[in-house]
Amino acid sequence: MDTITIPTAADMHIHLRQGSLMNMVTPYVAEGGVSICYVMPNLQPTVSTTEQALAYKAELEALAPKVTFYMSLYLGPSLTPEEIRKAAKAGVRGVKSYPRGVTTNSESGIESYDIYYPVFKAMEEEGMVLNLHGEIPSDHEKNVCVMNAEEKFLGHLKQIHTDFPKLKIILEHATTEAAVNMVKSLGDTVGCTITVHHLQLVVDDWAGKCHNFCKPVAKFPSDRAALRKVIKEGHPRFFLGTDSAPHPSHKKEGPEACAGVFTTPLVLPYLATILESFDALDQLRGFACDFGRAFYEVKDEKWVGEVKLVRTNKDFNTPETYAFGGEGVDGESGKVVPFMAGKALAWKIASIN
C-alpha cells in the first residue's frame, strides 16, 4: 500500500499560542491535514471568559479560515456556573483543568476539585466537556515526581466521573498503562487523547534531550506499548489530541526548559509513519478522524476535506526549524524546533482537497 486517503483529521488538543508564534503556527493546522481542532486556553492571560474565548477564536479564524476551532476555558476560581451557561450558548465547547504548577502557564491552576463541583454540574447540564491535565504536582516528601504523577492522578478522574456520570470528561495526553486501564474501566462519557509523540518516545528520549521534553513526560516502554495497543484495538474512546505545544528554541534550550513538542505542520505524516512502525496503519482514520469527532459529537464543521498521503522513499525530511516573528506583532521572534527535526518520514501529504 503506497497511498492512503482519509478525511481531514480532528486534533482534539492543540496549543496555538498568541502573537507572532500564533501567526506562524495556526496556518499549519490545515496544512498538516487537520480541519477541526480543540484549542487550549493556557495563554497569558488565560482564556477564562466567553469574551476572551470568542476574541481568540476570531484571531485564529482570520489565520486559518477553513478550520473549525473548538474553544475551551481555563478552570480557575473566577469561573462560575453562570459563565458556563453563557459560554455554552456562545458555542464554547469545554473547560480545561490544569493542576497548579505542573506545566506551562499553570500557575493559576487548581488545587482541589471539590470547589468546582457547581461548575461541573453546570457543564454536565450544558453538555460541555471537562478536559483534565492528569498529573498531580510533584511532592518529594510523598515520593511524587514526574514519573508517577499521572498514575497518582487517576483517582481524581474516577471520583469526578463517579460524581458526574453524565459529564463528558477527557483524560488528556495519557502516557501510562495505568491511565489506559483506568479510562477503559470507566463509562462511555470518559474519553482519552493520545499524542503523536507519546506513541514514539520513552523516558530515554527526553532525559537530557530538551526538544523531546513535554508534560506529562514520556514514560516506560511498557507504557508506550499500552498506548500503542489500545490504538491497535481501535478503541473508540481513545483518539488524537496532539498537545502540539510550540516554544521558541531558546526557551526549551535555556534555563526555562519549557515543556512541549511541536507536531502541527506534519501531524498526519508523523502519525502514519509511527502507526505503521507498530502495524496499526489501518487505525489511522479511526484514531485521527472518526473517534474524536464522535466523542465531541461534531455537527458544525465548516469544512471537511480529503487528505491523500503517499509513501516516501525515506527522502522526505522534517524541517530542522520553523522561523517565527519579525513582523512587528509583539517583538518576539525566533525559531521552533519540530518533533523529529531533520528526520526522514515514511509518509507525506500529497494533496488536501
Query: Can you tell me the distance from the alpha carbon of 49 to that of 80, in angstroms, rounded to the nearest whole number?
Result: 10
- Indicate which single residue of 32, 109, 260, 338 sits in contact with ligand DOR (rule: CB under 6 A): 260
Strands 306-317 and 3-7: what pairing? antiparallel
The residue to which cell 498538516 is assigned: 32
Residue number with CB closer to ligand DOR (49 or 103)? 103
Q: From ligand DOR, Zn ion, none, which one binds at residue 161 (CB under 5 to 8 Å depending on kind)?
A: none
> Does position 243 bind Zn ion by CB under 5 A?
yes
3-state secondary structure of 201: coil
Phi and psi at residue 75, to the nearest 5°? -75, 125
CB of 189 to ligand DOR, least distance (A): 23
- Indicate which single residue of 103, 176, 242, 283 sits in contact with ligand DOR (rule: CB under 6 A): 103
CB of 249 to Zn ion, least distance (A): 19
Task: Give the ranges where the chain is alpha helix by DSSP (H).
Answer: 19-25, 28-31, 50-63, 81-89, 117-126, 154-163, 177-185, 203-206, 221-232, 249-253, 267-277, 284-285, 291-295
> Does position 263 bind ligand DOR by CB under 6 A?
no
Element (H, E) at 12: strand 9-14
Number of residues that bind ligand DOR (CB under 6 A): 11
- Indicate which single residue of 57, 93, 96, 133 sits in contact with ligand DOR (rule: CB under 6 A): 133
Q: From ligand DOR, Zn ion, none, which one binds at residue 334 (CB under 5 to 8 Å depending on kind)?
A: none
Residue number with CB closer to Zn ion (28 or 347)? 28
CB of 346 to ligand DOR, least distance (A): 25
- Find the residue with minimal CB distance to Zn ion: 243
Q: From Zn ion, ligand DOR, none, which one binds at residue 244 (CB under 5 to 8 Å depending on kind)?
A: none
> Does position 245 bind ligand DOR by CB under 6 A?
yes
Q: Name which of 120, 123, 48, 36 is nearest 88 in CA terms.
A: 123
CB of 328 to Zn ion, least distance (A): 28
| CB-count exposure of residue 119 (10 Å: 0-12, 13-18, 19+) | buried
Reading the block at residue 125, the C-alpha cell is 447540564
> Does position 150 bind Zn ion by CB under 5 A?
no
- Indicate which single residue of 35, 104, 242, 273 sits in contact with ligand DOR (rule: CB under 6 A): 104
> Does position 135 bind Zn ion by CB under 5 A?
no
Which residues make Cβ contacts (< 8 Å) with residue 202, sequence separation at least 6? 218, 219, 220, 221, 223, 224
Q: Name which of 190, 279, 273, 189 is nearest 228 in CA terms.
A: 279
CB of 256 to ligand DOR, least distance (A): 11
Strands 68-74 and 94-97: what pairing? parallel
Which spans of this chain sit near ligand DOR (rule: CB under 6 A)? 15, 42, 103-104, 133, 214-215, 243, 245, 259-260
